[in-house]
Structure 1
Amino acid sequence: MAKVYLLLAALFGASGVALGAFGAHGLRGKVTDSLLEAYKTGVQYQMIHALALLGVALLIQSWGDRLSLTLSGAFFVFGLVFFSGSLYALALGGPRWLGPITPIGGLLMIAGWVALFIAAASTSR
C-alpha cells in the first residue's frame, strides 16, 4: 500500500497546485466570492491531506503495512475526493445535492487522523 499511497500523494499534490492556480487565475470574477472561498478551501484541504497521505506511505514503509495505517490512508483518499471534489464541483456550478457530500468527506478525513493516532499509539517505536 505504501507505493499506492505515495503515488496518490504525488498526484493529489500536483493536481492541488494546478487546481489552486486555476482557481486563482481562472475563476476570479467568474464565480461569487463565497464559491471562490469554498474552492480555495477544497484546494487547502487537498494539499494538507496529500502531505498526510505522503506521511502514511512513509510510515507504512517504516512500520510495516498495518491495518490502522492502511485505513488511515484510505480514509484520507476518500475524504479528500468527497470533501475537495464536492467543493470544486459546487464552485463550478455542479448540482446542489453535492453539498451534503462535503461533510461526509470531512468525517472521513477525521477518521483518517484517528486511525493514524491509533497506529502511532500502538507502535513501540
Structure 2
Amino acid sequence: MTQQIIIITGAFFGMLSVILGAFGAHALKKTLSNEQLHSFEVGVKYQMYHAIVLLVLGFNFETITSATYWCFTLGIILFSFSIYGLVISASKEKKLKFLGPITPIGGLLLVIGWFLILINTL
C-alpha cells in the first residue's frame, strides 16, 4: 500500500461524505422520515470520521499497515453504503433487507481497524 493511495482513498471518502451529506440534507429531506434521515446521517458521519483517519494515517505513513487500510476502506464501504442503501430503498418501500447484516460486518471492520492502530502503536 502506498502513501499516495491511502491519502487518495481518504480524500475520496471525505469528499463523497460531504456530497452525500448535502444530498441527504437537501434532496432526501423531503422523502425520508426523521428516523431514516438520522440513519443516513450516521452513515455520513462514520464515513467522514474514517476518511479523516485514513488521511491522518496516510500523512503518517509509517504508522499504517495494509490490514489497517483495508479494514477502514472495506468498513466504510460495508457500513456506510449499506446504511445508504437501506435508507433509500426503505423510503421507496422496496427495502433491500439483504443489506441489514452487512452493516454490522462493516462496523466490525472499523473496530478492527482501530484495534490494529492500537496494536501497532504498542
TM-score if structure 1 supplies the norm length? 0.87
Aligned residues: 116
Name the stretch that deviates more: 100-109 or 26-35: 26-35
Q: CA deviation at 1:69?
A: 2.1
Tell me by how many angstroms 1:97 deviates.
1.3
Map of 1:76 onto structure 2: 72
User: In the alignment, is the contact (CA less than 8 A) between 1:9 and 1:53 conserved in 2?
Assistant: yes
Partners of 1:56 and 1:72 within 8 A in 2: no
Q: Give 5+ residue unaligned stretches, structure 2.
A: 90-94
TM-score by length of 2: 0.90
1:73, distance to aligned residue in structure 2 (A): 1.2
Unaligned runs of 5+ in 1: none
Residue type of the partner of 2:101? P
Alignment of 1:73-112 (within 5 A): 73-93=69-89, 94-112=95-113
| 8 Å Cα contact 1:56-1:69 kept in structure 2 | no
The Cα RMSD (Å) is: 1.3
List structure 1 segments (4+ residues) > 3 angstroms apart after TM superposition: none
1:71-98 residue CA offsets vs partner (Å, 9 max, x unmatched):
1111000000000000001111151110
Seq. identity, %: 38
